[in-house]
Amino acid sequence: MAKGKNSLKILYILDILKENSKLHGKYEPGRFINANKIIDKLRQISVKDGDSEELTADRKSVYTYIRNLMYYGYEIETDKRGYYLIGKKADNDSEYGDTSDGNSKFQLAELRLIADALNSSRFIPTAKADSIIKKLVETKDCEGEDLGNLNDLRNRQVFQGNPFRSENNSVIYNIDNIHRAINSDRKISFKYMHTVVNEGDSGNCLADISRKNDEGLDKLYVLDPIALVWKNEYYYVLCYDKEQNKPKTFRVDRMKDVFELEGEKRDCQEHYSDLDIADYSNTAFSMFGGENKQVTLRVKKDLASVIADRFGFDTEILPDENSDFFRCSVSVQISDQFYSWLSGFKSDITITAPQDIRENYVAYLKQLVSFYESTN
């Protein structure tokens, strides 16, 4: 084989996806090509070119190459049947698949998707979502559509499990201020709200108030913003606290009076410059939880999608003595939220190692049982 040809496998896989997209239309049921067929086609390329060494890849490598192509900008539809190349977002390469004509205008379907996301987002107040959608309705930058059809954007309903939304109308400006502070390498100051039971003459109710300092005044936080994370339907900002020398996480819709501090450079760079934010987010069962540990889980095969959704498709899968189960080693932040998530699956997902985490989980369960047995 020509020297370095194996290092070009991602390009050969891209060629295979392009060729498959030419042969099959976007809506044809047989349009998908799976990992095994991609591996076979790689071998065929070696034979066709008369190479003595095979162009090889395993299934996990194919998954990695596909993810990298998607990260680079290729729109690839993934399905249990395999993969289908729709197009490339960056340049709208129209030589394959069903792509747009290359202009930069919104399609009506894209505007509807934005409207649905705004309507269903818990951290954006209803009034602010309506205001943004109104601007979408008034846009003149819609491709090939009757603009009168845009009026239905304001009436679309996407039903969500929890209809309760933030009432913080400054949330989108908080997000913008935090973004600018991170890009400018500056600290931020803010006040932080928490929910209390407000006792009054007409009855008790829930209310948000600012956290207080020792003098009873609104507490002012001055911290280094490291990154914004969108998780569990909310925006969070991961910050570095220099005084306590540790990261802290805050929900952005609970922040108020967020300001970028002129002349106040961040101290977090030397501590968190190489932090993998995606990895940090994936290991957290709440955005406020604990020490990272490597944990081995025994999982019923019916729950494979739960592991994929929680930890990703590149999770290493190991065999189990029972063919109905598999094992996987995952990194998690050990917290009560992790134990609570685990208990919901009863014996279908269990901790097998390390032993101290397994014992801590047992103690957590015993504490719950003891509480309920001792109280009426």
| Domain ranges for the chain | 5-88, 108-155, 171-273, 283-374
Lowest average pLDDT, out of 31-35, 197-201, 247-251, 266-270, goes to 197-201
Same-fold call for 5-88 versus 283-374: no
Of residues 25 and 332, more confidence is placed in 332
Q: Which H or E element spans position 363?
A: helix 355-374
Q: What is the pLDDT of residue 290?
A: 66
Contact status, residue 126 vs residue 150, Cβ threshold 8 Å: no
pLDDT tens profile 119-137: 767 777 777 777 887 777 7
Q: What is the pLDDT of residue 118?
A: 78
Give the confidence band of 75 by pLDDT, cuts at 50, 70, 90: confident
pLDDT tens profile 263-322: 899 988 777 766 777 667 666 655 556 677 899 999 999 999 888 878 877 788 889 999
Contact status, residue 117 vs residue 57, Cβ threshold 8 Å: no
Q: Is 179 left (phi over 0), alpha (psi -120 to 50) or beta?
A: alpha
Q: CATH for 283-374, among 1.10.357, 3.90.25, 3.40.50, 3.30.70?
A: 3.30.70
Greatest extent of the chain over all pairs of C-alpha atoms, in Å: 88
**What's the mean per-residue pLDDT of the chain?**
79
What is the percent of the chain where pLDDT is above 70? 75
Asked whether the CA dihedral 157, 159, 163, 167 is positive or negative, the reply is negative
Tokens 């973004």 appear where? 179
Q: CATH for 5-88, among 3.50.50.60, 1.20.58.1290, 1.10.3720.10, 1.10.10.10?
A: 1.10.10.10
pTM given for the model: 0.54
